[in-house]
Amino acid sequence: MIRVYQHKVTIVTSRKPHERTVNEELQWFGQSLGLFNLRDRDKSCFRVFIELLKSAKRKEPLSSDDLAVKLGLTRGTVIHHINKLIEAGIVVPGKKKYLLRVDNLRALVEEIEKDIERACSDLKEVADDIDRRLNL
């Protein structure tokens, strides 16, 4: 069986927060990765992300049920946000539990940077091939 591994990386550029509180910086961090948007009025994706960040610090994966109970959300809402975080390459699924891809935010950014570099390298390779075929 061949597994296709892909994720959608979104980078949104905006000014860093004026307030240098951890909460403001975490909000900016998540928004910069395209994780939190205006539709998420109760900041449930942000809350799921924060719980997964805490669990990464403890090195203890959480189930969707654990997250739903801790956050007072429905399991469906939690699953929706976890899938979004998995698609972004930020969360990895385990045996019915979830954990951040790495155990700190700096390492997370470095992993995303590597993902982007690999994608750009692949794009360049295919672009060169297409250019040769089209005599460009």
Q: Which domain holds residue 75?
A: 22-133
CATH code for position 27: 1.10.10.10
User: Is there a domain that residue 49 lies in?
Assistant: yes
- Element holding 99 (H helix, E strand): strand 98-100
How many domains is the chain built from?
A: 1
Sign of CA dihedral 61, 65, 67, 69: negative
41 occurs within a structural domain: yes
Query: 115 lies in a domain?
Result: yes
Residue 90 lies in a domain: yes
- Domain annotation covers residue 66: yes
- 34-86 pLDDT, tens digit per residue, is 887 767 777 889 899 999 999 998 989 999 999 999 999 999 999 999 998 99
Query: Could you tell me if residue 12 is inside a domain?
Result: no
The answer to the question of residue 17 being in a domain is no
Asked if residue 13 belongs to a domain, the reply is no
Task: State pTM to two decimals.
Answer: 0.80
Measured CA to CA, the distance from residue 29 to residue 9 in angstroms comes to 14
Q: What is the pLDDT of residues 78-111, one digit of tens each?
A: 999 999 899 888 999 888 899 998 888 999 999 9
DSSP label at residue 41: T
